[in-house]
Amino acid sequence: MTEKLRFAIVGCGVIGPLHAQALASLPDAELVAVADHTTERAQRLAAQYGARAYTDMDEMLASEQLDVVTICTPSGLHGEHACRAMRAGRHVIVEKPMEIRQEAIDEMLRVQQEQGVKLAVISQHRFDPAVRQVRGLIDDGAFGRLVLGHAQIPWWRSQAYYDSGDWRGTWRLDGGGILMNQSIHQIDLLQWMMGPVKSIAAYTDTLVHRMETEDVAVAILRFASGALGTITATTGAYPGLATRLEILGDKGSAVIEGDELGYLHLARDEKEAVGAYGFSAKTSRPATSESDGSAASNPGALAIRSHALQIADMMRAIREDSTPLVDGHAGSQPVEIILGIYEAARTGTEVTLQ
């Protein structure tokens, strides 16, 4: 058997333990150390997985032989922590968003180049089977010309959620609200399927929660391909409905509801053409009509499967000396779109991306 890759996790709050669980499901990975500046959190997670606990990540980097460091700290600290680990010669997996400021992203890409290490950014839903299937069909041209792409995130977060960490809902460390924190997953999938975004118009507001950043947002997009799209998102829709991603083309259409393929219809599978007026089909499952008990209402209710698949993809890239599916450049793309939406909403003008 190949030698196990040695992992450490920095940040043992909500998502850090899920990474530990995902690593435990991978036979050729080993969690050797964890760090959190809250001592009890580090000790609890370390004890659960037989790892060593640190309160200072620099001390951990100096003391441990590590292959990969996973950064699970508040979003506005990702750049600082990822760069520290990369400067210590470690490969890095960083949670989403890659960072919340463009300058910090540029610095991460620069340090990664300079150190010759690998950098992966978590976007675990790219590894969901329904997403892989739709993306594969797009690559095959099965949807024809893409005309519209819609991402809906009608989620619920209570005030208690925003009060549970002093960084949540702040510009300085969360970098935004429903868009930068929760919707980044769907925005990444939307641009991964529809291609790069060219221009953006948007409104955002804070209607339900006591916090600095937005809890409701609507954006209109024009993609570089000429297709149009929308993003509608909130953490104020009680009790939290499933996300919905619609990819619509002139030879086929698909809807992903939550993590599942809710609808798929392709002209190439037709025995007879649908005729001049087409038809409007219902999705197979009314998933959007009720809370699905997933991350729509509970940030801790995440399955580890897709995280484990993404960590395995990074391990493959390290062993083969190739590029992980979501490298630093891919990880920066949804952040650039979100920063563009904030600028469009703030200035009331259409924003063009490079």
Ligand X SMILES: NC(=O)c1ccc[n+]([C@@H]2O[C@H](COP(=O)([O-])OP(=O)(O)OC[C@H]3O[C@@H](n4cnc5c(N)ncnc54)[C@H](O)[C@@H]3O)[C@@H](O)[C@H]2O)c1
Nearer to ligand X, 41 or 157 (CB): 41
Nearer to ligand X, 152 or 253 (CB): 152
Decide the pairing of beta strands 228-234 and 216-223. antiparallel
Closest CA to 215 of 227, 207, 223: 207
Decide the pairing of beta strands 260-266 and 244-249. unpaired
Decide the pairing of beta strands 52-54 and 29-35. parallel
Q: Are 155 and 298 in contact (CB under 8 A)?
A: no
Q: Is 30 exposed, middle or buried (0-12, 13-18, 19+ CB in 10 A)?
A: middle
Establish if 53 lies at the interface with ligand X (CB under 6 A): no
Residues 229-258 that bind ligand X (CB under 6 A): none
Establish if 126 lies at the interface with ligand X (CB under 6 A): no
Min dist. Cβ of residue 245 to ligand X (A): 16
Q: Are 138 and 227 in contact (CB under 8 A)?
A: no
Residues 251-310 that bind ligand X (CB under 6 A): 299, 302
Min dist. Cβ of residue 320 to ligand X (A): 24
Binding-site size for ligand X (CB under 6 A) equals 26
> What is the Cβ-side half-sphere exposure of residue 128, based on CA atoms within 13 angstroms?
18
Alpha carbons 62 and 227: distance in angstroms, whole number: 50
The dihedrals phi and psi of 353, each to the nearest 5 degrees, come to -95, 155
The single residue among 9, 12, 93, 309 that binds ligand X, judged by CB under 6 A, is: 12
Q: What is the CA radius of gyration of the chain?
A: 21
Alpha carbons 100 and 332: distance in angstroms, whole number: 9
User: Would you give the binding string for ligand X spanning residues 63-102, x where CB under 6 A is met?
Assistant: ---------xxxx-x-----------------xx------
Nearer to ligand X, 17 or 236 (CB): 17
Min dist. Cβ of residue 227 to ligand X (A): 27
Point out which span in 5-13, 146-154, 322-330, 336-344 binds ligand X (CB under 6 A).
Answer: 5-13
Nearer to ligand X, 36 or 214 (CB): 36
H/E stretch holding 333 = helix 328-347
Establish if 15 lies at the interface with ligand X (CB under 6 A): yes
Distance set, CA 185 to CA 26, 178, 217, 222, 268 (Å): 23, 11, 15, 19, 30
The dihedrals phi and psi of 118, each to the nearest 5 degrees, come to -100, 145
User: Would you give the binding string for ligand X spanning residues 165-184, x where CB under 6 A is met?
Assistant: x---------------x---
The single residue among 11, 229, 240, 262 that binds ligand X, judged by CB under 6 A, is: 11
Decide the pairing of beta strands 244-249 and 146-154. antiparallel
Establish if 112 lies at the interface with ligand X (CB under 6 A): no
Nearer to ligand X, 76 or 229 (CB): 76
Establish if 35 lies at the interface with ligand X (CB under 6 A): yes
Establish if 128 lies at the interface with ligand X (CB under 6 A): no
Alpha carbons 42 and 263: distance in angstroms, whole number: 43
Min dist. Cβ of residue 185 to ligand X (A): 7
Establish if 124 lies at the interface with ligand X (CB under 6 A): yes
Q: Are 266 and 251 in contact (CB under 8 A)?
A: yes
Eight-class DSSP state of 94: E
Alpha carbons 94 and 120: distance in angstroms, whole number: 6
Alpha carbons 27 and 254: distance in angstroms, whole number: 35
Min dist. Cβ of residue 125 to ligand X (A): 8
Establish if 334 lies at the interface with ligand X (CB under 6 A): no
The single residue among 7, 23, 36, 344 that binds ligand X, judged by CB under 6 A, is: 36
Establish if 10 lies at the interface with ligand X (CB under 6 A): yes
Residues 146-165 that bind ligand X (CB under 6 A): 165
Min dist. Cβ of residue 263 to ligand X (A): 24
Interface residues with ligand X (CB under 6 A) are: 10-16, 35-38, 41, 57, 72-75, 77, 95-96, 122, 124, 165, 181, 299, 302
